[in-house]
Structure 1
Amino acid sequence: MIETHAHIYDQQYLDDLDEMLHRAWQAGVTEIWMPNCDDATIGPMLEIADANPGKCLPMIGLHPCYVNDRFESQIRVVEEWLGKRKFIAIGEIGMDLFWDKTYRQEQEAAFLYQCELALQHHLWIDIHSREAFHETVKLIEKVGNPALTGIFHCFTGNLDEARIAIDLGFKLGIGGVATFKNGGLDAVLPHIDPVHVVLETDSPYLAPVPLRGKRNEVAYIDLVAQRVADLMQMKKEDLIRQTTANARSLQRA
């Protein structure tokens, strides 16, 4: 399995990172893709990447919840790092209108600029979109380049929104919410071709049932895979094979 979105550099893993990674490898995870948040998370993320070459792969980007009136300086840091080393994607980037709408215009500007960076560097984007799906879609349409592709991370939208994302050329990142009783994905995933889905945990957040409310970790992606397979009426091993191929297709895009 490829874990397409996990913040394993988070301080919640300071005391047991190696043990957590061992459990992930034992569960069948072969790669962990790490989204960045801001300049403070780059160092810890790259330290893990360098200690686990080919297995823990970093992205670079400015998370919308870290955007403020000084976001330009953070974007310059992203640009500087893109000139220093290889990253698998620009992320996580996007729009978040759930917590605070104060910097909406700045979020839009940061997202558009980072989309252009992705196109310049031939990278895909990892999208965070909370209470802002249609706003994010409008920005993607504003970029207007079919080469822009990636993942709608932590997708929790309805079927119409899933089809919009797919038509734009994006994968749906499915995590622990698929296991929640009122998560809503039981009304979506049965109607989606598995070629459009990738698996994630968003660790340390959104642990799947029956561990909901506890610290999430990468090994729990197996619970996500089983639930998604059940909803899509597939064998788990077939679902894993397909979602791994889907993730690989982004690396070749």
Structure 2
Amino acid sequence: MQLTDTHTHIYYHADTLALQEQINRCLENNISRLFLPNVDTASITNVLNTASAYPENCYAMLGLHPCSVKENFREELASIKSAIEENNIYAIGEIGLDLYWDKSTLEEQKEAFRIQVGWAKEKNLPIVIHCRDAFKELFELLDEQKDEKLYGIFHCFTGNLEQARKAINLGFFLGIGGVVTFKNAGLDKVVEQLDLKHLVLETDAPYLAPTPYRGKPNESSYLIHIAKKVADIHGRSLADVANITTENSKIVFGI
């Protein structure tokens, strides 16, 4: 059995004992593949260093998070693009739209997204999408950008069934995280109606820890609780869910 965390910020612990301890706990739970999303230029080094320190387990993604899109976003993008050209990465991400924290940067967020989707298409890479309070605006962008080269993951998907099916039809897998274990979130009802072939698993550590750790710092080893919940929802074995979602991650990332 092999589990894959398709979205973890474990690199926040780069060059610390905590990183090694968390990696060890992952391996004890058969979580042997971790994909690391960048958020801005400041985090590039830690993403790349962590992937370099654990080449059999950690894989780098680079992109500009929508919450990091400020007035200087073009300078940030230039730095990230330079790092992409110089390093081996497996996706452009995380990128997208976030209207929860700041609606005033919507146009800048859209432009940053368009530019980064262009990079992904040039390099035949997937994109990893962050979407918060912005499904309408994001789907409009994706409809604008859709072609045979547009694909990837809707990270931390928490939408409804209609939105799930729209994302799938656009060529995306859905990243299912800790929210699926929350009692009243309703995501379990959506996941129940989706074929496992459309799903990948993630933690978004250190955020959104699953039950029974809700409200505490998350870590990638907790992916086991998300996988067990999805297995319960679908009436499948843990091994089935692990193997299917890991195979899906290999389709997305090419590794």
Q: Fold-level match, TM-score > 0.5?
A: yes
Once residues 124 and 80 of structure 2 are traced to their aligned partners in structure 1, the CA distance between those partners, rounded to angstroms, is 15
Give the 5 Å matches for 1:56-67: 56-67=58-69
Please say if 1:211 is aligned against 2:213: yes
- Residues 190 and 233, structure 1, Cα contact 8 Å, conserved in 2: no
CA deviation map 1:154-196 (0-9, x unaligned): 0001101100000001000001000001121122011101000
Q: Deviations over 1:219-243 (max 9, x none)?
A: 1000000001111221111111100
Task: Report the equivalent of 1:97.
Answer: 99
Which of 26, 44, 47 is the aligned partner of 1:45?
47
Task: Give the Cα separation in 2 of the matches to 1:178 and 1:144.
Answer: 28
The superposition leaves residues 123-167 of structure 1 with CA deviations (integer Å, 9 ceiling, x where unpaired) of 000000000112111111111323210000000011011000000
Separation in 2 of the partners of 1:247 and 1:154? 14
The residue type equivalent to 1:36 in the other structure is: N
1:12 and 1:204 in contact (8 A); partners too: no
**Aligned-partner Cα distance in 2 for 1:119–1:142:** 14
- The amino acid of 1:91's aligned partner reads G
Of 153-162 and 179-188, the range deviating more from structure 2: 179-188
CA contact (8 A) 2:14 2:49 kept: no
**Distance (whole Å) between structure 2 residues aligned to residue 186 and residue 3 of structure 1:** 19
Which of 25, 29, 32 in structure 1 is aligned with 2:31?
A: 29
**Per-residue displacement from partner, 1:67-86 (whole Å, max 9, x unpaired)?**
01110011111211121011
CA distance in 2: counterparts of 1:46 and 1:12, whole angstroms? 10
Equivalence for 1:166: 168
Report the RMSD for the aligned CA atoms in angstroms: 1.4
Q: Distance in 2 between matches of 1:12 and 1:206?
A: 20
Structural mapping, 1:171-210, within 5 Å: 171-210=173-212
The answer to whether the 8 A contact 1:97-1:130 is kept is: yes
How much has 1:11 moved relative to structure 2? 5.0
Query: Unaligned regions of 5+ residues in structure 2, if any?
Result: none
Return the offset for 1:111: 0.4
What's the TM-score, normalizing by structure 1? 0.97
Task: Name which of 98, 105, 108 aligns with 1:106.
Answer: 108
Q: Percent identity?
A: 44
Contact 2:200–2:249 under 8 Å retained in 1: yes
Does residue 250 (structure 1) correspond to residue 236 (structure 2)? The answer is no
Residue 80, structure 1, aligned to residue 82, structure 2: yes
Cα distance in 2 between the residues matched to 1:87 and 1:158: 31
Of 233-242 and 85-94, deviating more is: 233-242
TM-score w.r.t. the length of structure 2 is 0.96
Q: Distance in 1 between matches of 2:124 and 2:72?
A: 26
Stretches of structure 1 that go unaligned for 5 or more consecutive residues are none
Partners of 1:128 and 1:161 lie apart in 2 by 14
Q: Moved runs in structure 1, 4+ residues, more than 2 A?
A: 11-15
- Contact 1:150–1:169, Cα closer than 8 Å, also in 2: yes
**Which residues in structure 2 correspond to 1:6-17 (within 5 Å)?**
6-11=8-13, 14-17=16-19
Following TM superposition, by how much is the alpha carbon of 1:54 offset from its aligned partner in structure 2, in angstroms? 2.8
* Contact preservation (8 Å) 1:91, 1:125: yes
Structure 1 residue 239 and structure 2 residue 220: aligned?
A: no
Answer yes or no: is the 8 Å Cα contact 1:156–1:185 preserved in 2: yes
SS of residue in 1 equivalent to 2:114: helix
Which residue of the partner structure matches residue 148 of structure 1?
150
Answer whether contact 1:146 1:168 (CA < 8 A) is retained: no
